Amino acid sequence: MASTNDLKNGLVLKLEGGQLWSVVEFQHVKPGKGPAFVRTKLKNVLSGKVVDKTFNAGVKVETATVDKRDMQFSYMDGEYFVFMDMETYDQLMVDRKAVGDAANFLIEGFTATVAQHEGEVLFVELPAAVELTIQETEPGVQGDRSTGGTKPATLETGYQIQVPLFITTGEKIKVDTRSSDYLGRVNS
């Protein structure tokens, strides 16, 4: 249990019906008239739904213990992603639903943060940007410039993103894992 005065970004709360909600942002408000309150923006850990919720100041809220560990992606086993804990070398099988969009950027050897609550995997989080190789794209044409348009390119994971016209097959690029945007070339 924690007080609403102890709220901070990333804290996971257990609210009505045992649902887990992560605090995205919060603001303590002390109006000139009336009691103080805390205005929050909460994100459902499983569904990703975001809601605004207001609590009276000082009210007790139940917090959930979420164990976040850095694990290395090892391989795919059918519909499951197998991660290895780098400290204990234990392997953890995570279903595709918990991995979510991170699956588009996972290759063997990548390190990801795996969040668990009471033995159940809630989500898998990648760094904000990853470096991947272009597996296939149309060749650039003489005169293509960095300020020109974009073309589709398939990454080594099989996921397709838009890249500038001057990017060629085999190049290593940096990709934003949150928006799937091209961020730039990686200098070797």
CB 159 within 8 A of CB 105: yes
How much of the chain is in helix, strand and coil states, percent to nearest 5? 10, 55, 40
> Do 76 and 119 reside in the same domain of the chain?
yes
> Do 94 and 71 reside in the same domain of the chain?
yes
Q: What is the CATH number of the domain that holds 109?
A: 2.40.50.140
pLDDT at 65: 84
> Final residue of a domain: which of 61, 78, 101?
61
Distance between CA atoms of 142 and 98, rounded to whole angstroms? 44
Domain holding 179, by residue range, is 129-185
> Final residue of a domain: which of 31, 61, 91?
61
CB 132 within 8 A of CB 173: yes
pLDDT at 173: 93
Per-residue pLDDT at 47 exceeds 80: no
> Do 118 and 149 reside in the same domain of the chain?
no
How many domains does the chain divide into? 3
pLDDT at 147: 60
pLDDT at 149: 79
pTM of the predicted model as reported, rounded to 2 decimal places? 0.72
- DSSP label at residue 158: S
Distance between CA atoms of 95 and 75, rounded to whole angstroms? 12
Amino acid letter, 36? A
> Do 11 and 47 reside in the same domain of the chain?
yes
> Do 134 and 116 reside in the same domain of the chain?
no
Q: What end-to-end distance do the CA atoms of the chain give, in Å? A: 50
Distance between CA atoms of 153 and 137, rounded to whole angstroms? 5
> Final residue of a domain: which of 61, 88, 105?
61
Residue with the larger pLDDT of the pair 3 and 140: 3
> Do 6 and 54 reside in the same domain of the chain?
yes
Among 5-9, 113-117, 159-163, the range scoring the smallest mean pLDDT is 5-9
